[in-house]
Amino acid sequence: MRIAIGSDHAGFVYKEPIINYLKKLQMDVIDLGPESAEPTDYPIYARKVAETIRDKHADFGILICGTGEGMSIAANKVKGVIAGIAHSPFTAKAIREHNRANVLCLGSRTNTLEEALGYVEIFLNTEFSDNPRHLHRVQLIEAIEGDKQ
Ligand code: RB5
């Protein structure tokens, strides 16, 4: 599985441990930066990861900022991307199972590293539900996307 990952300065501290965790699981990791915790702007990295997913160069994306919120808002502007924030085991599962998220957003100021690693594991091990009502809802989201373009 190919995973694209990015952060801002706030999320940087979680990026390396998450990369190491993914590599232990034999994942192919594409690190899209940043390379240090120097102050930067989360939309830059949200865009890089989201466009990598859109262009099918990775299967899933992971974005880390202080709260996950800014990353999610920015990544969801890219067509084909469904970015969801995990802040509990339940939300880590639900954004895959119900929302078919392909980008996981995490907050370094809202969750511990151990919690964040747990959400990565849950997210990557959860399939999209085969209940047609969830597919119907995702198709309604895609219709909104179509209206915007
Ligand atoms: C950076 O201070 C912070 O605003 C950012 O990491 C993120 O939480 C934005 O949503």
Which CATH number belongs to the domain containing residue 66 in this structure?
3.40.1400.10
Position 146 confidence tier, pLDDT thresholds 50, 70, 90: confident
User: Do 95 and 76 touch, CB atoms closer than 8 A?
Assistant: no
Residue 101 belongs to what domain range?
2-147
**SS3 for 62?**
strand
Annotation says 105 is catalytic:
no
Name which of 47, 41, 33 is nearest 79 in CA terms: 47
Residue 149, pLDDT > 70, answer no
For 116-134, write each residue's pLDDT tens digit: 999 999 999 999 999 999 9
**Residue-level pLDDT at 112:** 98
Annotation says 57 is catalytic:
no
Burial profile 18-54: b = 16 or more Cβ within 10 angstroms, e = fewer: bbebbeeeebebbebbbeeeeebebbebbbbbbbbbb
**Residue-level pLDDT at 96:** 98
pTM score of the predicted model: 0.97
Q: Which of 12, 71, 72, 87 to mutate to test the pocket of ligand 1 (most atoms within 8 A of CB)?
A: 71
Count of domains in the chain? 1
